[in-house]
Amino acid sequence: MNVPNHVAIIMDGNGRWAQKRGLKRSMGHKEGSKTLEKLALHAIDMGVKILSVYAFSTDNFKRDKEEVDYLMDLVVKYFNTKFEKINKKGIKVVISGRKTNLRADVIDAINGIEEKTQNNTTGILNICLNYGGQEEIVDGAIKLAEDIKNGLDVSNFKREDFYKYMYHELPPIDLLIRTGGEKRVSNFMLYEMSYAEFYFTTTYFPDFDKSEFNKALFTYENRDRRFGGINDQKHN
C-alpha cells in the first residue's frame, strides 16, 4: 500500500455533532478529543509518519468565551494527563501556532507535552493550536528577514529552503482530510499543502473513526500525483 507520509486533518463538525444530539457544543469537542487520540495511534499503525491536526485556529477566538475556555481546558487536561498512550507508542508531540493570547496554564501544558515526548521517534503528532497558515508564513518571513539582515545570502534561496522557517520544519502534506462537509481550507497549513491530495467527507469529526480514516487512505492510493509533470504509464 502506498501510504502518505504526512496526513493533515481539519477536524471539523464537533459542534454540529453535538447539536444534532441536543447536546452542548462542548460535548462535541470532548468526543472529538477522544477521536483524535484513537486516530493518532491508528495512523502510526497504518504507516503514516506525521499527522497534523487543526485543533484551534487564530480565528476561533471569535467564538463565545465559554466555548474557547472549554477548548483550552480540554487541551490542558489532554496534554497533562491523557496523552500517556501516545507517549508510550513513541509519538513525538509538537504544537504549531502562536503562543501569544494563550493562557499561562495552556503554555505550561504545551511545554510539558513537548518536553515529555521530545525523544520519541516512531512518528510525529503536530497539533495546530492558535494556528493560522498565513500567520505561519508571516512569522517565517520575519525570521528569514532577520537572517538576511544578519548576512544570509539568498541568491540561491529555493522554496524548499523556506520549510526551515515554518514552526517545526515538517515535510509537505501528502493527504489533507476535512471532516464536517465544508470544502475549504480555513487558513490551515497553506505553505505545506501545495501538492496535497484533498479528501472531503460529510462525517462529523467525532464519528471519523479508524475505518473512515482507512477510506481516506484507500482513496489516496488511487490518486495520480503528477506534481506538474506527466506520468508516462498513464499517457502512452
Q: Does 10 bind ligand IPE (CB under 6 A)?
A: yes
Query: In the chain, at which residue ranges do the beta strands (DSSP E only) sit?
Result: 6-10, 50-57, 91-96, 123-131, 175-178, 197-200
Distance between CA 4 and CA 193 in Å, rounded?
A: 13
Q: Does 219 bind ligand IPE (CB under 6 A)?
A: no
Residue closest to 188 by CA, chosen among 7, 8, 43, 65: 8
Q: Does 12 bind Mg ion (CB under 5 A)?
A: yes
Is 187 assigned a catalytic role? no
- Which of 4, 15, 133, 206 touches ligand IPE (CB under 6 A)? 15
Q: Does 60 bind ligand IPE (CB under 6 A)?
A: yes
- Which of 8, 40, 48, 55 touches ligand IPE (CB under 6 A)? 55
> CB-wise, 3 or 23, nearer to ligand IPE?
23
What is the three-class DSSP state of 66?
A: helix
Catalytic position from the list 5, 60, 64, 105: 60
* C-alpha dihedral sign at 216, 222, 223, 225: positive
Query: Can you list the alpha helix ranges (DSSP code H) found in 89-195?
Result: 104-117, 133-149
Phi, psi (rounded to 5 degrees) for 52:
-105, 135
Q: Does 36 bind ligand IPE (CB under 6 A)?
A: no
Residue closest to 123 by CA, chosen among 62, 48, 56: 48
Distance between CA 120 and CA 116 in Å, rounded?
A: 9
Contact region with ligand IPE (CB under 6 A), list: 12-20, 74-82, 105-113, 219-227: 12-20
Instruction: Give the one entry of Mg ion, ligand IPE, none that residue 60 binds, where binding means its C-beta sits below a cut-off of 5 to 8 angstroms depending on kind.
Output: ligand IPE
Q: Does 55 bind Mg ion (CB under 5 A)?
A: no
Distance between CA 20 and CA 72 in Å, rounded?
A: 23
Q: Does 54 bind ligand IPE (CB under 6 A)?
A: yes
Is 60 assigned a catalytic role? yes
> CB-wise, 123 or 132, nearer to Mg ion?
132
For 108, the grid coordinates are: 505550561
Q: Does 35 bind ligand IPE (CB under 6 A)?
A: no
Q: Which amino acid is at 197?
A: E
Residue 150 neighbours by CB distance under 10 Å: 7
Catalytic position from the list 12, 14, 126, 174: 12
Taking CB positions, which residue lies at the least distance from ligand IPE?
15
- Per CB under 6 A, residues contacting ligand IPE are 10-16, 54-57, 60, 71, 180, 182, 184, 186
- Per CB under 5 A, residues contacting Mg ion are 12
Active site residues: 12, 60
